Structure 1
Amino acid sequence: MRNLTGLLTLLLVASLAHAADAPPLPALKIDPARTAVIGLSSGAYMAGQMQMAYPELFPNATLVAGGPYGCAGGKLDVALGSCMKGTPAPDVAALVASAGKRSAVGDIGALKDLAHARVYLLHGRDDALVAPAVAEAGAHFYEQLRAGTPGLKGMQVHDDGQRAFAHNLPVVATGDDCDKSVTPYLGHCGFDAAGEIFAQMFGKPAHAASAAKGELRTFDQDALRPDGADAFMAETGYVYLPPDCLAGKPCGVVVAFHGCKQNAAAVGTAFVEGAGFNRWADVYDVAVLYPQTRASFAPLNPQACWDWWGYSGADYDTRHGVQLRWLVNAVRALGLPAGH
């Protein structure tokens, strides 16, 4: 027993020392007019949740292979069925009505803050994991929200679902995995999804992207726990800083959410370095935050997915959700002004 206690103590000390190795997020001069959330799969659902819960911070969102906000309703069986396979199809009208009610009571943000939102929904027609019909339901959610909510006529919704790729994020290089869903879920499709995403979020680029010239840094995620609560995050996250941001110039901020089994513990830096976002971040002068979840069995999340069905608590997709509050802490630490 004494040996076991000693081993556990050593493991705890080693864990704490490892967490202490990562520095805090750097404080930047963030332009609140240039923000966006981007995500793949569970990360797409998380991006939608962040946008709906805090539209005053992130009115712009890209969902790659994700469905409508509130789809799972806190039920894993619904998440696995209706919200992935599309059987039965998500009830978009009911989800839009629910979002309106949740906004009215303050569980999510004020819908008026989506007045000039840009929403880009990218999904492959060969996706066998998240059915194209589910992603189409995501597009219909925004279209019905825009049509049925006063003041949202200026919301831009672009549904891009006719490209031939599977359940992955397409990258500009070509290869033989575009029609497969295999680790690290970056399909070599000859399509620069990152470039298209940035153009959809921030407009046409001033020039083409080249190799990333900024810095990819790690940061201590545990330091950002909301009121000390466990947000089911890994100890360490990543942030990419373009040269102009490092030089103190105003820069935007993008939060890029990985998908299930795409966190750093599973794929290393493949996503944070290979998705293509960093090259375009240099062009648009935006920092890219790459928060990292962790796998767990209690609560049950063995694939390190973002919480889009309720493993972190019943309020997971509201302003009270622990992962969403963690994210607010992170972007505040990065320099997003408190008035927004």
Structure 2
Amino acid sequence: MDSFSKLLRRVSRSAVIVLPFLVSTHTAIAADKLPALGVNLENTSVSGLSSGAFMTSQFYVVNSDIMVGAGVIAGGPYLCAQSYAYQSYMVNATTACMNPLTASVGPNTQMLVSKTKKLSKEKKIDNIDNIKDDKIYIFSGKADHVVATKVVDQTEKFFLDLGVDADSILYNTNVDAGHAIITNNKKDTECDLTKAPFINDCDFEQSHRIIRHIYGDTKPPSEKATGKIIKFDQLEFVDSEYTSMSKHAYAYVPDQCYSQSCNLHVVFHGCLQGADVIGDQYYAGTGYNEIADTNNLVMLYPQVHPSKGKPLNPQGCWDFWGYSLPEESQPDYFTKEAPQIKAVTKMVKRLAQQNVAAQ
């Protein structure tokens, strides 16, 4: 990921890049349909790293009516790729939204806030007043040179400018971490490195901090996840052929969530972190499932994979610049009708459908 911005620039010049794939280590059962579990739709939250952090902001703002909070790890504000009209979405994504030379050429937050308010009035996204009483976790590692802290600073400013109370935002910039999601596992990458699979040991579980901040009074995580990982047919929810979304995705369901209504947390992996690349390391190795066990949370792990043709998405990133609509000059990757957002929203709604087994 330390070469992510350079790679995206090559993509913008229509380069074709072949990526090596790692052997999958899935621990899930054979693919099935995503079940209806009757989750509490209005207590949904979301988090993600890197492109998954940009997707977190998009999914959260678009669906704020059902959201109670978000966790943004090394990501810029909503609509970031539209920061400057004289540049393409792709150029904005790889410059202003990643590692700009100065803060003055970083995300154009004032304009992004204005655009967000306009989209809200047009009902292309949920009413942005919904976010004012939510909890937001934001993180930028001191050793992260992929998405610079001056970019992530604007994520905090974006939410503040939309009315989120400063006390509701937990923004951490004091950890000497590379570009990665953080764990407390000595087997993971050294904290200050930026290196595949971008899961770094910095002596704390970031997923736990996110869940605690969003949901408040939480119970300690289980020592080992005891629920069920479900491998399901993700393409059932995908309408477009250009989303780069994988055939399969994953959900983690604690045992009690089959018989009672639980809350839902959506997790977006970063570039080069989908299951087709790193197996189960993200959806089973980043601590989310352990805290889900003891706090009545279902975890949803949507998936994208690298694609070298059409769409051109060689690092398997979530779409925050418009690759999912390659034939449009101003693609919609950011509203309720955006292909990836629409697909994941369908998954969320399936999980919220009545759980017959609980009756």
TM-score scaled by length of structure 1: 0.87
Counterparts of residues 90-169 of structure 1 (less than 5 Å)? 90-146=107-163, 156-169=168-181
Amino acid at match of 1:195: H
Distance 1:288 1:278 in 2: 7
From 44, 51, 55, the equivalent of 1:42 is 51
Aligned structure 1 segments of 4 or more residues deviating by more than 4 angstroms = 152-155
- Structure 2 residue aligned with 1:58: 67
Question: Is 1:78 the equivalent of 2:92?
Answer: yes
Is the Cα–Cα contact under 8 Å of residues 256 and 291 in structure 1 kept in the other structure? yes
- TM superposition shift of 1:107: 2.0
Partner of 1:289: 300
Q: Secondary structure at the match of 1:217?
A: strand
Q: Which residue of 2 aligns with 1:32?
A: 41
1:199 maps to a residue whose letter is R
Q: CA deviation at 1:206?
A: 2.5
Q: What are the equivalent positions in structure 2 for 1:241-260 lying under 5 Å apart?
A: 241-246=253-258, 248-260=259-271
**Contact (CA 8 Å) 1:178, 1:188: kept in 2 or not?**
yes
CA–CA distance in structure 1, aligned partners of residues 348 and 209 of structure 2? 24
Question: In the alignment, which residue of structure 1 is the partner of 2:288?
Answer: 277
Identify the structure with the greater strand proportion.
Answer: 1
Q: What's 2:198 paired with?
A: 185
Letter in 2 for 1:83: C
Residues 221, 235 of structure 1: 8 Å contact kept = yes
Q: Which moved more, 1:323-332 or 1:101-110?
A: 101-110
Provide structure 2 residue ranges, at least 5 long, that are not aligned to the other structure: 1-29, 83-87, 326-330, 355-359
C-alpha contact 1:114 1:155 (8 A) present in aligned 2: no
Q: Number of residue pairs matched? A: 310
SS for the counterpart of 2:71 is: strand
Distance 2:251 2:203 in 1: 26
Higher relative contact order (Cα pairs below 8 Å, separated by 6+ residues): 2
1:96 Cα deviation from its structure 2 partner: 0.9
Q: Distance in 2 between matches of 1:336 and 1:29?
A: 5
Is residue 115–residue 154 contact of structure 1 (8 Å, CA) maintained in 2?
no
Deviation, 1:127, is: 0.4
Tell me how far apart the structure 2 counterparts of residues 217 and 176 of structure 1 sit (CA, whole Å): 27
- Match among 207, 210, 226 for residue 213 of structure 1: 226
Report the 3-state secondary structure (helix = DSSP H, G, I; strand = E; otherwise coil) of the residue aligned with 2:299.
strand
The equivalent residue for 2:185 is 173
- Displacement of 1:97 after TM fit? 1.1
Give secondary structure in 1 for the equivalent of 2:97.
Answer: coil
**Identity among equivalent pairs (%):** 31
In the alignment, the residues of structure 1 paired with residue 33 and residue 243 of structure 2 have an alpha-carbon distance, to the nearest angstrom, of 17
Q: 1:117-137 CA deviation, whole Å, 9 max, x = no partner?
A: 111101211101111111111
Displacement of 1:161: 1.5
Contact 1:231–1:326 at 8 Å: present in 2 too? no
Partner SS, residue 67 of structure 2: coil
Counterpart residue number, 1:203: 216
Aligned-residue RMSD, C-alpha: 1.8
